[in-house]
Amino acid sequence: MNAEMIKFLAVGLTGSIGLLGPALGLGLIGYATVTALGRNPEARGAILTNMILVAALTEAVGIYALIVSIILAMVA
């Protein structure tokens, strides 16, 4: 196992493990949104607005992982 291999492993693992959390989070957001919509279809507008806001916040965490792995791939 040489340095190059470890670097690529690090890049891949940063991306994949870092994306586990946001993936789980997005799933939970979708689940909660659909549940809320089922219970209270009139509040569709408010629910969707909040969903998009929170989904983008969650997605940003995945983007952090992406940045870290890109930096690793480029610099390290």
Partner 1 sequence: MSRRGCGLIGLVVLILFIVGLAGGAIGQGMGIDLLPQVLKVPSLEIESFFSGEAIFWREGFLPITNTLIASWVTILVATLFAFAATRKMKIIPGRLQGLVEMAMEMLINFIESVAGHKNGRRFLPVVATIFIFVMFNAYLALLPIYGPGIHVTLHDKIETRDAGTVVELMVHPIVEKEDEVIAVIQTADGAREEVKSHQTGEIEYIVEEEGRVEAGDTVAVMVGETDNGTAIVAPVAGTVVKLELQRRIEESEQPVAKIDTGTGEPVIVNSPKDKLGELEYDVARGQVVSADDEIAVLTSAPPFLRSASTDINMTLAMALLAVIFIELMGLTGRGFKHYISEYINVGELFRGMKLFFTGKIVDGLMASVTGVINVIIGGLEFISHMTRMVSFAFRLFGNMTAGEILVLSATFLIPWIMAMPFYGLELLIGFIQALIFGGLTLVFASIAVGHGSEEH
Which residues of the chain form contacts with partner 1 (CB under 8 A)? 52-53, 56-57, 59-60, 63-64, 66-67, 70-71, 74
C-beta closer to partner 1: residue 28 or 71: 71
d(CA 65, CA 55): 16
Q: How many CB atoms lie within 10 A of CB 50?
A: 15
Our CB check for partner 1 shows the closer of 1 and 74 to be: 74
Minimal distance in Å, beta carbon 22 to partner 1?
Answer: 12
Q: How far is the CB of 41 from partner 1 (least distance, A)?
A: 20
In the complex with partner 1, the residue whose CB is nearer, 23 or 66, is 66
Asked whether 14 and 76 are in contact (CB, 8 A), the reply is no
Instruction: Please say whether the dihedral angle defined by the alpha carbons of residues 27, 28, 32 and 33, taken in this order, is positive or negative.
Output: negative
